[in-house]
Chains A and B, each alone.
Chain A
Amino acid sequence: MTDQGASSVNGAAADGDPQTSAGGAEHAVAELSLGGGGQAFPYPALALDPDASGFWGWVDRATERLTSLLNPILVKEARQSLKSKQFLITFFCLLAASCAWTIMGIVFNAPDVYYIPTGESMMIGYFMILSVSMFAFVPLVAFRSLAAELDEGTYEMLAITRLSAWRIVSGKMNSAVLQMLIYFSAIVPCLAFCYLLRGIGLLTIILVVAIIFITAMVLTALGLVLSTLAKGRTLQTFLLVGLVAFIVVVEFTCCGFVFSMVLPEQWSGTWFGFLAWFTVAASFVVLFVAAAAARIAPVTENRSTRLRVILFFQQAIWVVTIAYTAWSTGDFEWINDGLLYLGIFWLLVGMFMCGEASELSPRVRRGLPATYGTRMLFTWWMPGPGTGFMFVVATGVAGLVVLAGVGVFGVQTGAVRSTSVDTPPPIFAAMMMGYLLGYLGVIRLLAMPFLKRFGPSFVAPLVAAVVAYFLGAIVPAIIDVVIQGRISNQYSALHASNWGWTWDEAFSPRGLPAEVAMLILVVGAGVLAINLVSLFREFRLRKIAVPLRVKQDLADESENQLVESGSGR
């Protein structure tokens, strides 16, 4: 070894540098290599030379320390994407489109542009340019990036490093956000120009940009979840087409919202209202990222508890958002809308949870609650289809009760007044609770034999859900035809299993009869009771001891940490 780089390794080891000499292999095989060699240092591709002295050496080391704090995936993806043709083309197109729109706007508005505020009309174009590049490209790049890792075997190389599944997916998400920021930075001068043209407030511009950002983040996180579902090129193509279709719908919806609600009204509403809705959207970003991470994490890991915690907080955010919106608008309908979406949300989430593996790995069992009190409180947060069912039922029912309570309190205090609907929140909540207990219970019972036979999967609960919802809607119609010879056009207790009609009835001026809501709740409670019988096996699982070798390893780790902190590393 005659080169500078190699001699610095040997030199450091000889000097007793603990970091270098710790890598004993370096010392022993320093004289061997797989040929090659070639030019002397520097390693230009690495850019950093930690042994350099002087100011620039200090800058190198400071930069090094800073980048060490970043997610490695973010660093890699940033390097990759800044060199990629796709990024360069998109960035160039965005710049070109912004310039073109600016020139066109001035030409078409001249000479009025000197006298009349035209910022609002210019903002429409900039919104379109920024939203198309952020909605269309960033989520698709994120989808392709993770799908390619899983497809081409590079994910396995990542999986055997220290990176957890969460860090891998959040790294992908971070790099998507970085791309968004770069696109945004390209259009900032245009937005400043827009403000100077007058006719649009700074707050409105900030709000529009925030809407674009949060929507693009939700779409990107959704893209990441979908990419983990795609096993094989065919399914990947279908999911990609589905994502593109969804993006188109979102683009139009977002355009409609911004053009009709934000831009013309010179929005000056409550920041808390928008903040609450942004928080709901952000909670979905976190949920999707966590779901994607859970999908790619090893099956022996606890892949469920983190998701349950997020879902719990998501419900809290939802309840606060709906309560605030109903309170601030004085509109009773918000409560029932909130109850409906909360019920549907838990039905959907519960369906996925029913597909979890019922066998817990020894690794997960080490983390089970041990004492009677903690078992009472935290068993529901542990993985498993039974605990998942109970978690959804308990949390969902609690959320529905709280939200209905807010409605009742609002009516009593006069803060919320009834407008177009006649179903009081407690009746609506009882109906949603009944559906949650009943349908989710039936889905679980239908899916259980298939899960036992074919192992954990969300396909069996999904199929069971489709069957249950279809039968629930069609059976009353069949009974109608058998009894009356035609489908009844009058809603009655017989149609209680028809969720669509029941919801329609609940939102109609007639309102849902209280006795029907109670009937649905009682039937749901009956289905829950049947389910409880098969749940006990999961609750009997006990915590197991951490193996001695792992304890030893933990002790070694903390000892090393002490040594490192002692040496002031």
Chain B
Amino acid sequence: MIELQDVTRLFGTTRAVNHVSFMVPRGSVFGYIGPNGAGKTTSMRILATLELPTEGDAFIEGLSSVNDPDRVRRRLGFMPDAFGSYSDTNCAEYLDFFARSNGLVGRERTRRIRWVMDFTGLRSMAEKPITGLSKGMRQRLCLGRALIHDPSVLILDEPAAGLDPRARIELRQIIRSLAADGKTILISSHILSELAEMCDRVGIIEQGRLLANDTVAGLKGNSQTHLDLIVVIDGETETAKTILSQWDDVSDVVELNRTLQFRVAGNRQRQIEILHRLCDARVNVLEYRVVDESLEDLFLKVTAGKVQ
């Protein structure tokens, strides 16, 4: 379990994190979204015991990252956005070093290193110096380092950055599998479509303040002020267009072939009502659907003008 309790972090007079609170239950994936400089990395670093909050506290598995950082670190795998490399070190030695540093000994250590190498697809790179790795390979190694001691909580800051599309899809599956295995995951990314698919909940942060914290579906429901609907008509579209134009709550009616797209004020509950009204007006509806909002749309909607 991950928990931030009313955390504030000041850098001089700048509030990098401003009274942020949220909780991520065990075995779930929490997506952390925000523009650059919003406070994502700072709050992740506070959880990872690398930064101290000016106010509030952060907890991992109920242990304070402020007062018991040593206990928190045993349960935590952190993948920062920047990769710190060592000269004259190859991938296997790098993982071996972090395995030793995390207290793994004997067979357990060697097995764990093998597993991480297979898992991250780095086996063929075992003897390659890490300074010569590509960005994507470094990301894999960084993820491997975070997983080496089998932590129960993972904090991943931009893990998909630099990965090719195939590796991104695999990463998504891996994260879901890790969550299914009981790991609690906090993940930030700029690729919002990916987060929508893998996260149980999403938090949107801007200028240090948490603006929203809900499931993607919940966010869509809460933030909706209108619906964009698409209707495919059997027969004459002109009549249907005229009928729609007469209704006060309908706007922006656009016709394309036998398809009409229009906007209705209100949320998803209006969807059925509009269909009933169309049928009552004897419009022959062949297909009827709502245009789904993407996480990008939601993000822009939630952040627009809230913190200025």
Contacts and interface: CB of A to CB of B under 8 A. Distances in A.
Contact of A157 (B84, B90, B119, B183): B84
B59 to A, nearest CB: 9
B170 A153 contact: no
A34 B171 contact: yes
B89 A61 contact: no
Interface in A1-58: 1, 3, 5-6, 8-9, 12, 19-20, 22-29, 32-39, 41, 43-46, 48-51
Interface string B162-197: 010011001101100110111100000000000000
Interface size class of A (residues with CB under 8 A): 35 or more
A34 B174 contact: yes
A396 B112 CA distance: 52
A45 B115 contact: no
B118 A3 contact: yes
A123 B288 CA distance: 97
Contacts of A298: 49, 52, 69
B110 interface: yes
Given A35-B166, A157-B145, A5 B106 contact: no
A19 B93 contact: no
A34 B111 contact: no
A79 interface: yes
A25 B163 CA distance: 22
Interface in B64-113: 64, 66-71, 73-74, 76, 78, 80, 82, 84-93, 96-98, 100-103, 105-113
B101 A163 contact: yes
Contact of A35 (B114, B121, B181): B121
B96 to A, nearest CB: 6
Interface stretch (B8-16, B122-130, B203-211): B122-130
A50 B71 CA distance: 29
A25 B110 contact: no
A268 interface: no
A27 B74 CA distance: 20
Contact of B120 (A33, A80, A152): A33
A484 interface: no
Interface size class of B (residues with CB under 8 A): 35 or more
A362 interface: yes
A398 B78 CA distance: 49
Contacts of B171: 34
A300 B103 contact: no
Given A20-B111, A45-B93, A76-B86, A363 B67 contact: yes
A504 interface: no
Contacts of B92: 43, 45-46
A362 B52 CA distance: 13
B66 A160 contact: no
Contact of B101 (A46, A72, A83, A363): A72
B147 interface: yes
A68 B100 contact: yes
B170 A33 contact: yes
B63 A50 contact: no
Q: Is the interface of B mostly helix, strand, loop or mixed?
A: helix
Contacts of B89: 76, 79-80
A23 B68 contact: no
A165 B230 CA distance: 62
A43 B183 CA distance: 28
A61 B67 CA distance: 38
A337 interface: no
B90 A45 contact: yes
A8 B114 contact: yes
A152 B83 CA distance: 9
A72 B107 contact: no
A256 interface: no
Given A24-B182, A28-B180, A33-B170, A46 B67 contact: no
A22 B64 contact: no
A43 B117 contact: yes
A24 B112 CA distance: 11
B119 A46 contact: no
A46 B180 CA distance: 31
Interface string B133-159: 000000010010101011000000000
B281 interface: no
A299 B111 CA distance: 35
A22 B110 contact: no
Interface in A340-371: 361-363
Contact of A43 (B69, B78, B126, B167): B126
19 contacts: A3-B123, A6-B115, A9-B111, A9-B115, A26-B150, A32-B174, A34-B167, A35-B167, A45-B92, A46-B92, A50-B107, A76-B100, A84-B88, A156-B80, A157-B80, A160-B50, A162-B74, A164-B70, A553-B63
Interface of B: 48-50, 52, 62-64, 66-71, 73-74, 76, 78, 80, 82, 84-93, 96-98, 100-103, 105-115, 117-127, 140, 143, 145, 147, 149-150, 163, 166-167, 170-171, 173-174, 177-178, 180-183
Given A46-B113, A553-B63, 8 more contacts: A9-B118, A25-B177, A25-B178, A29-B181, A45-B127, A50-B107, A156-B84, A160-B73
